[in-house]
Amino acid sequence: MPKFCILGASVAKSRETAEGPIAGWGQYMSEFLAPAWEVRNFARVAMTARTYYTERFAALLNMLEPGDIVALDFGGVEQRINVPLRYHGKREFKEFLKLYVEGIRAQGAIPVLLTPCSRCAFDVRGQVSDTRDGYPEVTREAAVETGAVFIDMNAYTGRLLQELGPTRAKQYYRWLDAGEHPLHPDGMIDSTHFNHAGAREVARILASALAASPDIPVGTVDPATLVPGEYPTLAPEFTVVSPESALFTVDRVGTAPVFTSPAPGRAVSGLQKFAGTADPDTGYLLFFSQGGYIGGTAVNEQGRFLWRRTMVWPAGEHTVQAVGLARTGGVTPIASLSFEVRDHVVPPVVDSPKSGAWVNPRPRFRGTAAPGVTKVMALEGERLIGEAVVAEDGTWSMRHPHSWRPGTYRVEFVSIFSALHSAATPVDIRVLGVPQDSFLRTSTEARERCGEKCDHYPFDGHW
């Protein structure tokens, strides 16, 4: 029986019923493939191209047989530059994809490169926002350079979201009001992972693309199964009748809602979530900006709420207003919260060493970052080599644990703010040291060094 294997992270991972209203598209693939095919889903939470290749790929190669298909769904987790163990620079990411293609082909199997699915986010014009930071294009380039089958799931799912629009698209994601599901009593806003209806539709879209590909064997997909699922309804927040009237009601009941996050005046990203509490009698909250209704959410029995727009807030100063609808009738007083949205991050300043300076093999990099920046990341050759937490006064410092070899190197520093990152600040360093072929090194090669710092003879000095 030929195998359809899936490699990837949490968006593709098969889920258990106990995990609640979340599903991976991989668990629905068998519904659309011909009965002769066996689906094996190896996708795991937080799996990256690097971790699967180094930890599990050999086992996959040993089980592959000629004619098997391997779908690779990477590029979502790898773009997270603020998570060092998961981040892949674009060149590194492409190199791993090419290694996968080479290894899979060597076993006579068919590699299929997929771009990551679109996230549920729209700009103020109602257009699907690009949140994938260029990684779909890297996958496309790897497919062109290797001749692998390429399916642009980012484009396909983007078109799906555009068709649904901001008022329906969230119905395909794990996006829940407070009190809506027992596993998430305080709500869940997840614009990346799908619910069961969304995961099935993504699997159907992928199967349709496979059926249309000239490089996939005829009969792999059962065309009779490619029937779209039920069209999602309007999200409940967009079924409220005449919500603006709540702003002008004279007689009000109870107390105003309270925002607990974000803090007033705080700088946030355009995808900020709003959390807080409301009067126990409040059943639903309405949100407004500049007098216009922008959405709503339920309040759980404990009086907690969680809400986020499906549209990205534009950069600048904003004020959001919240009004509660009482379960027993009437509307609450109005709550207001002002905040600043940033859509870009200022690059960090590197105070030391100055670009072009000579340094010892263990240089310490120091500098400052703009207000709100939480981390500064260091990269060499597009690969992440270090991170520094930004102190309250905006300063940061880092030193790599390994010594640099003598030579000239470029290190780039990037600021992190929420899910955003800045352009890089480049610093060129000239590392002073003893060359590898120097007598000072080769004359001591008969013995292993006892560690990074060695006071035994011959003494090399302390850097």
Tokens of 424: 């890089």
Per domain, the residue ranges of the chain are: 3-225, 244-341, 349-442
Look at residue 279 in the predicted model and tell me its pLDDT. 93
pTM: 0.92
Consecutive H or E run containing 100:
helix 90-106
Burial class (CB in 10 A: 0-12, 13-18, 19+), 210: buried
Look at residue 457 in the predicted model and tell me its pLDDT. 47
Consecutive H or E run containing 143:
helix 135-146
Q: 323: closest CA among 235, 415, 242?
A: 242
User: Cα–Cα–Cα angle for 137, 139, 145, nearest 5°?
Assistant: 105
CB crowding 388-408: b at 16 or more within 10 Å, else e: bebeeeeebebebeeebeeee
CATH topology of domain 349-442: Immunoglobulin-like (2.60.40)
Please tell me the class of the 3-225 domain.
Answer: alpha beta
Instruction: Report the Cα 126 to chain-centroid distance in Å.
Output: 21
Compute the residue count for the chain: 463
Q: Are 305 and 285 a contacting pair, CB within 8 Å?
A: yes
- CATH topology match: 244-341 vs 349-442: yes
CATH 3.90.1150.10: does it fit domain 244-341?
no
Bridge partners, 323 (sequence order): 286
Instruction: Report the Cα 242 to chain-centroid distance in Å.
Output: 36
Give dist(CA 63, CA 175) in Å, integer. 37
Q: 375: closest CA among 80, 50, 48?
A: 80
Q: Which residues contact 18 (CB under 8 A, 6 or more apart)?
A: none
Question: DSSP labels for 156-188?
Answer: HHHHHHHHH-TTTGGGGEEEE-TTSBTTBTT-E
Look at residue 450 in the predicted model and tell me its pLDDT. 66
* Residue 353 to residues 299, 347, 423, 431, Cα–Cα distance (Å): 53, 16, 19, 11
Q: Report, as ranges of residue numbers, the positions in the chain whose pLDDT lies below 70.
A: 449-463
Tokens of 455: 């006071």
Look at residue 459 in the predicted model and tell me its pLDDT. 45
Look at residue 444 in the predicted model and tell me its pLDDT. 77
